[in-house]
Amino acid sequence: MATLQKLVDAEQQALKKGKNRKDAIYAAYDRFYKGDIAKEIARGTQEQGGLITEQDLANWKVKIEEPTTTNYRGIDVYKLQQWTQGPALLQTLNILENYDLKSMGYNSTRYIHTVYQAMNLAFADRDFYYGDPSFGTPAPMHVLLSKEYAKERMKLINPERNDPTIGPGDPYGFEGKQNPYQDLLKKWGTSQSSLQRNNLHPDEKFMEAFTAGTTSVEATDAEGWVVSITPSGGWVPACIAGNTGVGLSQRMQSFVLDPKENPFNVVEPGKRPRVTLTPSMALKDGKPFLSFAKQAGDEQDQLLLQFFLNMVEFNMTVQEACEAPSFKTLQMYSSFGDHERSAGGLTLNSEMPPWSRKELSRMGYNISYQDRTSGPINAIYFDWVHGTFWGGSSNHGEDYGIGW
């Protein structure tokens, strides 16, 4: 509370001196990153053995970036750049656009298998190629997000069985270029740490790390402004910076130390870890169509994908799409904890019928069950025909919508 009051005081003092609203906000910003709050953050961090300095805080700047995007059946979907996992949803959509998902039936065995396989192809690329594009030469995202690359990747999908060995593709080779990480690509998944964490049966610790929570906010107004936000940082148990009450981010655990795992996400000073945070926006005919996001670590883009398909392919309302039971692949490497994965791991809703369970087991899946698999997802749908907004929130936890 004292830190928040200091920010309010900085703003109010600037306004009394005749500063405009923008400059007053920056006065509060400067007090946090360059003033007495910054000094206490640095002191408290170093007192506990941390490395953050006052200069680190003073040098930090927000980066304004162009989003990544793809078009799915006439809808433009936007995600953050590859320092997040967001583009994996776009890659998955590019693959799935080649299938008649609607005819398969919502959550049928064939539908689950097809979407699961497409996600695994995209997440394997995430695990090897995604990282902060501000460092070094970034991976060729224009290839990873191309329709042509998606068609090549989909050829690897076996319609009858899960492939627990699926790995990253080669976007460089797709353009006839030499992959600068070819040797590392051949060794992907073979490091000692990777071999130790190929668990077939995820335990409670693994699932807790895999679904680590965060928060999401979707908001819009009558003037047409719309935002999708997924903020996160120091969650419980948190390390607090001195007497500021500020919880320090725990996202550094999403870095890797071995280039064989991901040469683009090896820890470096000043670098952003490849995070799971992944707000989403979709436009149709140049107008807002959906603003959607969710919490829960590596689950985020796979459940946001299914939410989006629920609306676009199965004509659900936004609330129905938020509440509809989803399924989860555990085959990608977790971004948290020991970076484990469960090859062939599939989490289904407990109400999945026995014949689907039997068919999916036969197809090579290691199945676990959860009573609630709907999200939690929060979303806003824009109904331009009637000039209204539709809000949706999963019946999963502390998620709700407010209108005024």
Q: What is the mean pLDDT of residues 46-74?
A: 94
User: Does residue 199 have a pLDDT over 70?
Assistant: no
The backbone torsions φ and ψ at residue 347, rounded to the nearest 5 degrees and listed phi first, read: -100, 125
pLDDT given at position 100: 98
What pLDDT, in 10s, does the model give residues 272-325? 999 999 999 999 999 999 999 988 889 999 999 999 999 999 999 999 999 999
249 vs 134, residue with greater confidence: 134
> 289-324: buried (b, 16+ CB within 10 Å) or exposed (e) per residue?
bbbbbbbbbbbbbbbbbbbbbbbbbbebebbebbbb
With 0-12 CB in 10 A as exposed, 13-18 as middle and 19+ as buried, what is 212? buried
CA–CA separation, 292 and 297 (whole Å): 15
Q: How many CB atoms lie within 10 A of CB 30?
A: 15
What pLDDT, in 10s, does the model give residues 14-24? 999 999 999 99
Do the Cβ atoms of 365 and 162 come closer than 8 Å? yes
pLDDT given at position 195: 45
pLDDT given at position 69: 98
Residues 6+ apart with CB under 8 A from 353: none
CA–CA separation, 24 and 15 (whole Å): 6
Torsion of CA 122, 126, 132, 138, to 10 degrees: -70
CA–CA separation, 1 and 116 (whole Å): 45
Q: How many CB atoms lie within 10 A of CB 91?
A: 29
Do the Cβ atoms of 286 and 278 come closer than 8 Å? no
Do the Cβ atoms of 55 and 247 come closer than 8 Å? no
Torsion of CA 126, 130, 131, 135, to 10 degrees: 170
User: Does residue 364 have a pLDDT over 90?
Assistant: yes
pLDDT given at position 53: 95
User: Does residue 212 have a pLDDT over 70?
Assistant: no
pLDDT given at position 339: 87
Q: What is the mean pLDDT of residues 217-237?
A: 84
Count how many Cα atoms sit within 13 Å of the Cα of residue 242 in the half-sphere of its side chain. 18
Residue with tokens 């040469």: 263
Which tokens sit at 340?
């484990």
Q: What is the mean pLDDT of residues 192-203?
A: 51
CA–CA separation, 305 and 118 (whole Å): 11
pLDDT given at position 91: 98
Is residue 334 helix, strand or coil?
coil
Which tokens sit at 167?
């790995």
Which tokens sit at 79?
């995600």
Q: What is the pTM of this model?
A: 0.93
What pLDDT, in 10s, does the model give residues 138-147? 999 999 999 9
pLDDT given at position 303: 95
| Most confidently predicted of 2-11, 192-201, 219-228 | 2-11
Do the Cβ atoms of 332 and 124 come closer than 8 Å? yes
Q: What is the mean pLDDT of residues 374-396?
A: 89
User: Does residue 215 have a pLDDT over 90?
Assistant: no
Do the Cβ atoms of 184 and 263 come closer than 8 Å? yes
Q: In the chain, what are the domain boundaries? A: 2-59, 68-393
Q: What is the mean pLDDT of residues 81-110?
A: 97
User: Does residue 197 have a pLDDT over 60?
Assistant: no
User: Does residue 211 have a pLDDT over 70?
Assistant: no
pLDDT given at position 213: 64
Q: What is the mean pLDDT of the chain?
A: 91
Confidence of residue 66 (pLDDT cuts 50, 70, 90): very high
Cis ω before 237 (30° cut-off from 0): yes
Residues 6+ apart with CB under 8 A from 117: 157, 158, 162, 163, 166
For the domain spanning 68-393, the CATH number is 3.60.20.40
CA–CA separation, 137 and 98 (whole Å): 31
